[in-house]
Structure 1
């Protein structure tokens, strides 16, 4: 969630499950879950960016694609746009990425990251431009690139078990993120349930989590922005279910910044499930 909101912030200056019937017998089937969402980003109540998000998830695979661009009054003084995508497999109901890529362009400056995964470890990495080797930057080692997930896949929280998705279980975890330049943990702590409503699509309960940022490597601990985010107690995410899956998606993100509260909120949030009958195989005689 932090990474998704942070990507849009830079632009501003810069997802099933079984259920159907076999002929002649009761048995599980496959269900695809999908999400199409649009978001608006504001800072101190002023719109500065817009984004779109598309998610497709089955019981074995997932694909996520997003775009963002500067909008509102900020277009008069800055330009920016970006794309991000991730795809991979569903392992134990959780997204496990195989590839992640992000490309941004802001005021003539282009940045790109591509990460290839093998399991939960980084096997391929391309970063342009590469981070500068500064004395106060915490060194990134191979150990920091193991047991991680990319920031886009990490924004979708998998709730284990068979109980309700809309419960505190959505918020009790730390998510190990590697974004190509930094390794950090995003922590989620349950706060409350709250109703949300998009202009189009979803209207209903959301799980509200407090978000924490724990830098691990690749960051510069002396920077004021790192210190601020590390100490920030005013970061929250509202999570709602993606139909047909056990994935929770961000409906809203709110982060206090040095220039006002940044809010990323869905204006359209349409999620659906498509069931697919499993063909019956007739035994040979």
Structure 2
């Protein structure tokens, strides 16, 4: 298995290939929602074989949020590749996540890649990819327009309620996530499938099952078989569970059919907090320097 593409895509998968859009607009100052946090441990399986572990930690304080994602390949795949990666994003929640900073770093035994982005009001203001992508001449250009009105892959994991009602209202599945990862721009289109009951350590109750579809926009190589496969792929879904204190949903399970078999990222433990009163203010636009990431 090629570890680097998997690790780079991991936050996107945890987003439901979804990753996020929104509750009532949060106040930008004075009293806000209670502070809340959630940590979810995941197992990662490909074609029924365990290949790794991942963790998502979300912190929500008033309108502000921070999302941390990490993944590591284990077993024979991990021994051969040494693959691991981490991502972090932060910003504010309004009618959708408005990230201010995003960074991701992945590495294998013989290579690595890092991305840093700064954003303001959903628009990318600065971005760095290290090492730069090779100019193959066949990539769909990433225009300035493609970098406006976007979310990063980690921010996409926090999906605010779309209605004022229950977080598990089926309408909260129906959304399009405009994702930019620093190099490629794509949409993840979610639609309601069903509601089901799940039991996991730390969580017992209903989840929304959303169908997912991938739409390539820019930065991809249009003639590559893998791109066509993903655009035609209808075997993708994400289960969303509520974080009530923050009025957001986060992935409990993601299933994506790949050319090597079905990749399933599923929660093995759910830990949630949310007790104190918090104050929040609007996040200032970040710079690339502020988007620097401390890898785990």
Please report how far the alpha carbon of residue 81 of structure 1 lies from its aligned counterpart in structure 2 after TM superposition.
Answer: 1.0
Residue matched to 1:35 = 38
Question: What is the root-mean-square deviation in Å for CA atoms of aligned residues?
Answer: 2.3
Secondary structure in 2 aligned to 1:270? strand
8 A Cα contact 1:41 1:50, kept in partner? yes
SS of match in other structure, 1:31: coil
- Structure 1 window deviating more from structure 2 (69-78 vs 105-114): it is 69-78
More divergent stretch after superposition (66-75 vs 262-271): 66-75
Partner of 2:121: 119
1:1-285 counterparts in 2 under 5 A?
6-7=9-10, 30-92=33-95, 94-198=96-200, 200-276=201-277
Q: Which stretch of structure 1 is more off in the superposition, 251-260 or 53-62?
A: 53-62
- Answer with 83-92 or 33-42: which moved more: 83-92
Name the TM-score, length of structure 2 as normaliser: 0.82
Any conservation in 2 of the 1:40–1:264 contact (CA below 8 Å)? yes
Q: Is the contact between residue 69 and residue 81 of structure 1 (CA under 8 Å) also seen in structure 2?
A: yes
Give CA-to-partner distance per residue, 1:224-273, whole Å, 9 cap, x none: 11000000000000000113022100000000111111000010111222
Shift of residue 37, structure 1, vs aligned partner: 1.0
Q: Tell which has more relative contact order, 1 or 2 (C-alpha 8 A, sep 6+).
A: 2
- Deviation per residue, 1:169-227 (Å, 9 max, x gap): 121111100001100000001000011222x2111111001101000000001101100
- Mapped partners of 1:260, 1:36: distance in 2: 28
How many matched pairs?
Answer: 260
Distance 1:261 1:40 in 2: 13
More strand by share: 1
- In 2: Cα distance, 1:179 partner to 1:103 partner: 12
TM-score by length of 1: 0.85
